[in-house]
Amino acid sequence: MKNEKNELLPTRNITWWRMCIDYRRLNQATRKDHFPQPFMDQMLERLAGQAYYCFLDEYSGYNQITVDPNDQEKTAFTCPYG
């Protein structure tokens, strides 16, 4: 749900603080990835019959990639509480 300032608002009952950041302008300025992940069925077809597999844990690796120091200010935020 959006308010009159086009800000996104949570629609369920909140019993704790929840930080919401609108990165749409940053996403528009970001260079797009020209090497997206293949679909699961494509990956399984490529793996079929192979002798070796390599597993990359994308779930635990999320947000583990270092952001270039020159770009850190683009993803940082502050609020009155710290």
Angle at 29 between CA 28 and CA 33, to 5 degrees: 80
The gap between the terminal CA atoms of the chain, to the nearest Å, is 26
Residue 3 structure tokens: 């308010």
Tokens of 7: 């800000």
CA distances to 46, 54, 58 from 50, in Å:
8, 11, 22
pLDDT at 82: 64
Sign of the C-alpha dihedral computed for residues 50, 54, 59 and 65 taken in this order? negative
> Taking a C-beta distance cutoff of 8 angstroms, is the pair 75, 67 a contact?
yes
- Residues of the chain predicted below pLDDT 70: 10, 14, 57-63, 82
| Confidence (pLDDT) at 79 | 76
